[in-house]
Amino acid sequence: MNIQVDNPVLEVHDLTVSYDKKPVLWDVDFTIPYGNLVGIIGPNGAGKSTLIKAIMGLVPKGSGYIKLYDDSLDSVRHKVSYVPQRESVDWDFPASVLDVVLMGRYGKKGLLKRVSKKDKEIAYESLKRVNMLDFASRQISQLSGGQQQRTFLARALAQEADLYLMDEPFAGVDAATERSIVDLLLEMRKEGKTIVVVHHDLQSAIDYFDWTLLLNTRLVASGPTEKVFTTELLQETYGGKLTLLSKIGDLMKEKQFPAREK
C-alpha cells in the first residue's frame, strides 16, 4: 500500500542509499501530506535513521531525489528542523542548556549576527514548552536522558520550522516524559506543523500517528495509520516476529481498530 498525496510537504522519489556499496534503502518512494503527525516504523537496521538523514542531506543519495515544499532542501532549510538521536553528541561538552537551545537560532539569522534579546526570548519560550525552564543554566553533562531529549526538542522549537524530522525522540524517556512530548507534538500539529517521527513501539504508534510509513530497507507501506496497520503489512515489515504480531493483533482487536476518529 502506498498512498500518494497531491501537493505533499515531503516527496521522496525512488531513493536509494548505500553504505560501502551495500544498499540500506532500496527505491524508497512516498509522499507525506501537510499538517500530519507521521510515524516511521520498522525493525532495527531497517534504515529509518538513514532515511531522515538522507532527507536532511547528511548522507549522500545513491539515486532518486527528495523535494521539500516542492523545492530543494537548500532553498527551504530555514523551514526544516532535524532532531538527531540524542546519543549522536557528546553531552560532556562545556555548554549550558540555554547555549544548546540558542544554537537553534543560528540557522534563521546566520552565524555572523550576535544573539539578540529576541533570540533569548524565543529560546526561553521553547524551554518553557518542553518544561525545562528551570534547567536553562544547567550544564548539559548533568542532564538525564529525558532532559537531554527535551533540550534537543527545545532547540528544534527555537528554529521555528514548519517541518520537523525527529529520530527516536521517545528512546530512553519515561512514560510521563513521553506523554508530555506527545502532547507537545500534538500542539505543534495544531499549529499546522508537520512532524515526522522515527518510532519503535507499535502499540503506541497506533495512538500517536495520523500517517505511518512502514520501512524495512524498502518501503512496505505509506498511508493513513488505520489503513497501514494491517496484519499482513506488519508481518511483511517485521517478517517472522510472530509473537510481536499476535500481540498487535490482540491490541487492534482490543482497540476496535480501525474505528478511530481523527
Ligand X SMILES: Nc1ncnc2c1ncn2[C@@H]1O[C@H](COP(=O)(O)OP(=O)(O)OP(=O)(O)O)[C@@H](O)[C@H]1O
Strands 37-41 and 194-199: parallel
Count the alpha carbons within 13 Å of 168 in the hemisphere toward its beta carbon.
Answer: 19
Give the x/- contact pattern for another protein in 129-148, rule: CB under 8 A: ----------x-x-------
Burial of 200 (0-12, 13-18, 19+ CB in 10 A): middle
**58 scored as a contact of another protein (CB under 8 A):** yes
Interacting residues toward ligand X by CB under 6 A: 19-20, 24, 42, 44-50
Cβ-based nearer residue to Mg ion, 49 or 148: 49
Residue 42 near which of ligand X, another protein, Mg ion, none (CB within 5-8 Å, type-dependent): ligand X
- Site map 32..51 versus Mg ion, x via CB under 5 A: -----------------x--
Question: With respect to Mg ion, which residue has the nearer C-beta, 49 or 81?
Answer: 49
19 binds, among another protein, Mg ion, ligand X, none (CB under 5 to 8 A by kind): ligand X
Report, in Å, the least distance between residue 143 CB and another protein: 12
Q: Which of 23, 43, 57, 62 binds another protein (CB under 8 A)?
A: 57
Q: Give 1 or 171: the residue with its C-beta nearer to ligand X.
A: 171
Q: Which of 41, 47, 99, 132 binds another protein (CB under 8 A)?
A: 99
- CA dihedral sign of residues 206, 147, 141, 115: positive
* Contacted entry of another protein, ligand X, Mg ion, none for residue 139, CB cut-off 5 to 8 Å set by kind: another protein
CA angle 248, 250, 251 (to 5 degrees): 60
Here's the x/- map for another protein, 73-92, by CB under 8 A: it reads as -x--x--xxx-x---xxx--
Integer Cα distance of 102 and 172 in angstroms: 24
Residues near another protein, by CB under 8 A: 53, 56-58, 74, 77, 80-82, 84, 88-90, 93-96, 99-100, 103, 106-107, 111, 139, 141, 155, 159
Residues near Mg ion, by CB under 5 A: 49
